[in-house]
Amino acid sequence: MTIKACIKHYAKELKDVTHIPNKEVEILILHLLQQNVIWLHLNSHEEFNQENELAKLVKKRATHFPLEYLIEKASFYGENFIVKQNVLIPRPETELLVENAFNILKEIQNPKLVEVGVGSGIISVMLAKLLPTINIVAVDINEDALALAEQNAINHDVKDRIKFIKSDLLSKVQGEFDMCISNPPYIADDYKLPTNVKFEPSNALFGGSIGDELLKELIIQVDQRKIPYLLCEMGYDQKKPLEEYLKAFSCESVDFYQDYEKFDRGFTIKFKI
């Protein structure tokens, strides 16, 4: 079959898992051939010699297995990152968290940042790319995540400014920081996940029986460590309980933000130090 015919044929198998089946088959073909979209458009009438491999990938994708895990790649903030199973796939709304952090950190000389729950490394790596004088400590409880984040830091040439540590929240972190940033697990343990998300690691998603337990513990630890700023992503229904919870803390300001779909999605706290 030609490449064009393969796309048409295999897209049918993906019509129930994605609203862009043709595009996804194209992406899988490009992954197998290690080529780009321009090449594909110029060569779509060529014979495709890796149909067996493609059929296997399409079959797996038809089970809702995420495309990003199949091609081991995801785009974030316009950059390519490696992704691997057992580490969360980057979500576009996390770009807003990076943006908020950047706007504060760019005003601080030689800023020091700690990230809790580094995952694939997207937040720390992007901030290191955007801020040439920043130094970062990035922690996770998942060793696969730490190894992947380190690989992404090497690929983006920022490894010398990020120290990776295995730590439960800030328990193993030493030193002083201007900011703590985190996209922690914040989903309630009994929440029924969509099929595709079930392939992602549960310790990256579930934050406790209510969901905001880790966020609340992090607020305590950042306040105790006298870190001036805490920026976090959170669940769409956690603004009210967190506003209530924060009344017990001495904050100069608390600003919540919404994601691209207008759901409450995170906050910036400035503690009174």
Ligand X SMILES: C[S@@+](CC[C@H](N)C(=O)[O-])C[C@H]1O[C@@H](n2cnc3c(N)ncnc32)[C@H](O)[C@@H]1O
Residues in region 208-267 near ligand X by CB under 6 A: 214
Could you give phi then psi for residue 254, rounded to 5 degrees?
-135, 120
Interface with ligand X, residue 150, by CB under 6 A = no
CB within 8 Å of 19: residues ≥ 6 apart: none
* Angle between helix 51-61 and 21-33 (nearest 10): 130
- To ligand X, the closest distance from the beta carbon of 207 in angstroms equals 8
For ligand X, give the closer residue by CB, 25 or 173: 173
Consecutive H or E run containing 135: strand 135-140
- To ligand X, the closest distance from the beta carbon of 46 in angstroms equals 37
For ligand X, give the closer residue by CB, 84 or 112: 84
Counting runs of H as helices and runs of E as strands, what totals does the chain give? Answer: 10, 11
Interface with ligand X, residue 148, by CB under 6 A = no
Residues 87-126, mask of contacts with ligand X (x by CB under 6 A): -x-x---x---------------------xxxxx-xx---
Please state the separation of Cα 30 from the chain's center in Å: 23
CB 152 within 8 A of CB 87: no
Residues paired with residue 170 on neighbouring β-strands, in sequence order: none
Interface with ligand X, residue 145, by CB under 6 A = yes
* Angle between helix 3-11 and 21-33 (nearest 10): 130
Q: Which residue has the tokens 């903030």?
A: 77
From 11, 137, 139, 234, residue interacting with ligand X (rule: CB under 6 A): 139
- To ligand X, the closest distance from the beta carbon of 28 in angstroms equals 23
Interface with ligand X, residue 169, by CB under 6 A = yes
Interface with ligand X, residue 200, by CB under 6 A = no
- To ligand X, the closest distance from the beta carbon of 90 in angstroms equals 5
- To ligand X, the closest distance from the beta carbon of 27 in angstroms equals 20
For ligand X, give the closer residue by CB, 8 or 172: 172
Interface with ligand X, residue 142, by CB under 6 A = yes
Please state, in angstroms and as integers, the Cα–Cα distance from residue 117 to each residue in 139, 151, 211, 218, following that order.
Answer: 6, 16, 15, 11
Q: CA nearest 99: which of 260, 273, 245, 216? A: 260
Binding residues (CB under 6 A) for ligand X: these are 88, 90, 94, 116-120, 122-123, 139-142, 145, 168-169, 183-185, 203-204, 214
